[in-house]
Amino acid sequence: MNLLMTLLLGFLFIVITVLLARRKHRNPWLWGVNGFFGVVLALIALAFFGDLEKMPPEEAQKSRVREKVASAVLIILGLLAQWRRMR
């Protein structure tokens, strides 16, 4: 039962972060993974990224790189948290 509840909550977190990422024209797959590992951190990080459609092309490219770096950090933190729970 505990595993089922964890999977359901993970799916809910994925849906929430994907919907917000789409609204800001961000990569929904990347933010979905972030949402699974840590919805609070993912939502905070996503709040700091602007809408790509409203940025000049040069700034949008820099923002995409920052988005990937932030996502890598969030995924690593999420994996470390999962690993710590398993120990």
DSSP string, 15-50: HHHHHHHHHTT--HHHHHHHHHH-HHHHHHHHHHS-
Average pLDDT over residues 1-30: 84
Residue with tokens 């932030």, as numbered in its chain: 70
Q: What is the pLDDT of residue 45?
A: 84
pLDDT band, residue 56 (cuts 50/70/90): very high
Phi and psi dihedrals of 56, rounded to 5?
Answer: -65, 155
Q: Does residue 1 register a pLDDT over 70?
A: no
Total-model pTM = 0.72
Average pLDDT over residues 49-78: 90
